[in-house]
């Protein structure tokens, strides 16, 4: 089952059960939201999870693109990506967690044809309702503590969750998700029952609901029988240009961020993009300093634009990246001799970093990650 079929199977399943399809899924949160990028499928729906009526009703489904920089150091392993797509379903004060889990099991078993014996779940240790539901469905469940309590920050909606894992190892399943890494998490069902306050206390939500999120790329890895998310169909155009997982991830992420209207800058979202481009170039030049983003073929750019439903010309995206590459090259030419002269006196001090930034516009992270390693 290719990635497009997975999306249509998921959305059709929930639309047949009365869920309305959400519209555009930009990475950019609303203006009054303090976060830079949407990092979870439920993020844009927070006001409605807290009780505000949604114009489309109480049952929703959709595909949300997400960006997470907290996992940057893990990008390149088998399952972590910077930008990814999250398939979601939401009950806004409608059906409860039991129904959500039963529908989820039905979709995995009948829609995605996953054998029940390849499934395992984890549940919050103080959530007997979810545990009983999985036992009735014949799926083994492991009870855990805080690992199965979900929140999107220090305050706001939260609750116990039920994480669904699929066995990806050779031979019959062994162990549990907490003891064997061959169990890969693909779907999380969060029972939004509480609100956490600034003092850490909890109160019941006036409108309990359910928020589910299925990582599209991870599910594609499972259903396509691959060992890594980088081996699935969405990365094929990128892998034809480079074998580097980091380049595939960061370039694909840059396309999506630029496609959502962000340009490189020294602050906010633009700085996240600038760091992604610089990490990309550092990796690109590691073995061959003559390589350039101007050599990027149109095919992977256009494929990513189409898969994320971006309203941008792929050639424009490449132009943005090439312009940033030239700025980076100029900064390196100016900064490298400055840093080398300072290093002759010994390790760089905080005063040195302030001097490089305030006088020459060379940020500390660039010095630490690139210039001192040259």
Per-residue pLDDT at 260: 97
Q: Which residues contact 187 (CB under 8 A, 6 or more apart)?
A: 104, 108, 163, 164, 212, 213, 214, 215, 219
CB 241 within 8 A of CB 293: no
**Strands 59-67 and 156-167: what pairing?**
unpaired
Measured CA angle at 256 (ends 254, 261), to 5 deg: 95
The 8 Å CB, 24+ separation contacts for 220-223 are 220/2, 220/3, 220/6, 221/78, 221/79, 221/168, 221/184, 222/114, 222/166, 222/168, 222/184, 222/186, 223/1, 223/6, 223/112, 223/114
Positions of CATH 3.30.930.10 in the chain: 3-231
**Which pLDDT band holds residue 296 (cuts at 50, 70, 90)?**
very high
- Kindly report, residue by residue over 252-289, the tens digit of the pLDDT: 999 999 999 999 998 999 999 999 999 999 899 887 88
Q: Above 70 in pLDDT, residue 17?
A: yes
- Kindly report, residue by residue over 19-68, the tens digit of the pLDDT: 999 987 899 987 777 789 998 888 889 899 989 999 999 999 999 999 99
Helices (H) and strands (E) in the chain, counts: 12, 9
Residue with tokens 């199977």: 9
Using CA atoms in the order 36, 68, 157, 134, what is the torsion angle rounded to 10 degrees? 160
Q: Above 80 in pLDDT, residue 243?
A: yes
- Kindly report, residue by residue over 313-348, the tens digit of the pLDDT: 999 999 999 999 999 999 888 888 999 999 999 999
What is the CATH class of 3-231? Answer: alpha beta
Write out the two tokens for 167: 């066995």
Per-residue pLDDT at 23: 86
């Amino acid at each position: 089952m290719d990635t497009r079929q997975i999306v249509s199977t998921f959305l059709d399943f929930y639309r047949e059960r009365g869920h309305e399809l959400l519209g555009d899924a930009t990475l950019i949160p609303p203006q009054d939201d303090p976060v830079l990028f949407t990092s979870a499928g439920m993020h844009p729906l927070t006001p409605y999870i807290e009780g505000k009526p949604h114009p489309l009703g109480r049952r929703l489904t959709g595909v949300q693109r997400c960006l997470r920089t907290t996992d940057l150091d893990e990008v390149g392993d088998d399952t972590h990506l910077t930008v990814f797509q999250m398939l979601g379903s939401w009950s806004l004060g409608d059906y409860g967690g039991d129904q959500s889990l039963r529908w989820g099991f039905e979709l995995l078993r009948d829609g995605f044809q996953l054998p029940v014996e390849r499934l395992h779940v984890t549940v919050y240790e103080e959530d007997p309702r979810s545990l009983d539901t999985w036992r009735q469905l014949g799926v083994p469940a492991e009870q855990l503590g805080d690992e199965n309590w979900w929140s999107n920050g220090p305050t706001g909606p939260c609750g116990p969750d039920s994480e669904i894992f699929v066995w990806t190892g050779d031979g019959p399943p062994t162990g549990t998700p907490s003891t064997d890494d061959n169990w890969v998490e693909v779907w999380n069902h969060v029972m939004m029952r509480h609100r956490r306050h600034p003092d850490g206390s909890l109160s019941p939500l006036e409108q309990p609901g359910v928020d589910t999120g299925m990582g599209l790329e991870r599910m594609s890895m499972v259903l396509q029988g691959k060992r890594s998310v980088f081996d699935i169909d969405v990365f094929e155009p990128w892998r034809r240009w480079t074998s580097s997982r980091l380049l595939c991830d960061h370039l694909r992420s840059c396309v999506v961020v630029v496609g959502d209207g962000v340009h490189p800058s020294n602050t906010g979202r633009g700085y996240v993009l600038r760091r992604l481009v610089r990490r990309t170039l550092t990796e690109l030049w590691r073995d061959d300093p003559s390589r350039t983003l101007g050599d990027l073929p149109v095919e992977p750019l256009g494929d990513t634009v189409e898969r994320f439903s971006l309203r941008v010309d792929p050639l424009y995206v490449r132009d943005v990246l090439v312009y940033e590459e030239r700025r980076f090259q100029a900064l390196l030419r100016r900064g490298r001799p400055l840093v080398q002269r300072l290093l002759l006196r010994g390790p760089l001090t905080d005063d040195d970093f302030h001097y490089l930034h305030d006088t020459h516009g060379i940020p500390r992270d660039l010095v630490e990650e690139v210039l001192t390693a040259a």
